[in-house]
Structure formats: C-alpha cells, structure tokens
Amino acid sequence: MAKRVVVSHFFNEAYLLPWWLRHHREIFDHGVLIDYHSTDDSVAICRELVPHWEVVSSENATFAALLCDFEVMKHEQRFPDAWKLALNTTEFFVAPGLAKMERVVAQHDLTGVCLPGAVMVDTDPHNPPDPLRPLVEQKATGIWEDEIDFAALAIPGLTFPTRSRLYHRYAIGAYTPGRHNSHLPRQCNGSRELGSIRWYGFSPWSNAFKARKLQISDRRDSFDVKNGFGAQHQADIAELDGRWSKLRPLSGILRNAA
C-alpha cells in the first residue's frame, strides 16, 4: 500500500496543534510540518506528539502565499509515489472511506480527489472543548460549502468554496494560489461519505482561538497585501465576531459526518 503523507505549515499554533496532530497521526504514515519561525511552544508540541514526523524551518521570512505553495510542493516532490494532502492547521481531514477512495482513484487511473469542504462554526462557544478529546467530536457543527450562499453573506475572503483540498498521488499538487484548486488533469470530485475537509475557521469560538486568528495579519508579505492575497486575515476582533455571528445561525451538525 502506498505511503500517506501530509504537508502542513504553521506559525504559533500551540492552541490547535495538539488536536490537529493527534487527529492526523492516525491517518498519515508521515508528515512534513513547516514552521514559519514560531515563538510559542508549537515546535515542541510537534516533536512530542509526532516525534517520527519532520519539523522543518520555512525558507520564507514572512507568509507569502505563492512562495508558501511553492515550498509545500517542493516537499511533496520528495515523496513521488505517496498519497499526499496539504493542509492548514485549521483543516481536519475526516475520511471514513479513505481506502475505498484510494481504490477508486487507482482503478480509474485518476490523479486525485477534490475533497468536499465544510466551514466549521461553533454554536456553543460557552462550552470549551477538552484538549484531550478529539476536536471533530466535540465541535461538530458547521456548514457544507456547497450549501452556502456566499454572495448573501458578504464575508471578506469567504466569497466562493475554498476549503476543498486535493488528495493526490502525483509528484506535486500543481496548485493555484492558496492551494484551493489544482492544474492537475484527471481529478474527480469526492463524496462526503468517503472523505472531506472540516475547516475550523470559526470554531472553537474561544478567546484563544480568536487570538490566533488576529496574529496572522501582521505576518502577511507586502506583495500579498498589495495584490489581495489573504485578505480574509485583515480583521480586528469586532470584524471577526461579526463574521461568526452571520454564520452561526446557518451552522448545524453535518450530515454524513464520520
């Protein structure tokens, strides 16, 4: 069976990383974790929870979307025969039918699967999640992206489905900026029953979670600011709470959840 490899990058993610690492170490054989020069305990957490995975320092001083994608793909290329998935720390891969999904791709000689995405929105923010229990079990409310009226919401950076990720077996993902799409041929659309991406963009809605969102804007590269990459990160606490308030009434337990 082909190896499964996850590639991710992080900056000061000590709050979410324990949940993320414990979740994905059960799915992937190996991980490459790119540290964007964190100043908290993120690296130590990685070394403790996944000592057999790689933690590498980013070659980029700031977060630049195009250079980040290029760096991710350079690491992907090191595992030419593996199944690969590139994720952010807010993205949890839920795949009860992963083996079946891989068989379908192989049988039809496809390149990979575009996984459906859901925006996770905390409907019970006064009930904080237990750090030692799986986050996907405790905070399971969200909205499937294909059920969102993005125009009606009018939330910056949330204007079209962007949480789909490509689970693929090519050398690199050949991604468009942000890795939201890919130029690779012979892709197929995945199903919720087999596998999906749960984006914890608005969950758990705690002070610690909001603090990690607020730190991102200062890390954006000047080129990205000038050209509108990562505009969703440019927000203060009032703006973040306003976005969450718009999404909360739409959020519920996801159908076809694992």
**Domains in the chain: boundaries:** 4-253
- Asked whether the beta carbons of 59 and 71 are under 8 A apart, the reply is yes
pTM for the model: 0.92
Q: Report the distance separating Cα 85 and Cα 112, nearest Å.
A: 10
Q: Which pLDDT score, from 0 to 100, does residue 163 have? A: 86
Question: In the CATH hierarchy, which fold is given to the domain comprising 4-253?
Answer: Spore Coat Polysaccharide Biosynthesis Protein SpsA; Chain A (3.90.550)
3-state secondary structure of 77: coil
- Asked whether the beta carbons of 157 and 231 are under 8 A apart, the reply is yes
Measured CA distances, 27 to 4, 83, 166, 191 (Å): 8, 11, 16, 18
Q: Report the distance separating Cα 22 and Cα 239, nearest Å.
A: 31
Task: Say how far residue 94 (Cα) sits from the centre of its chain.
Answer: 11
| pLDDT tens for the 258 residues of the chain, in order | 789 999 999 999 999 999 999 999 999 999 999 999 999 999 999 999 999 999 999 998 877 788 899 999 999 999 999 999 999 999 999 999 999 999 999 999 999 999 999 999 999 999 999 999 999 999 999 999 999 999 999 888 788 888 899 999 999 999 998 898 999 999 999 999 999 999 999 999 999 998 887 766 555 556 555 555 554 545 678 888 999 999 999 999 997 544
Would strands 30-35 and 4-10 be described as parallel, antiparallel, or unpaired?
A: parallel
Q: Report the distance separating Cα 258 and Cα 96, nearest Å.
A: 6
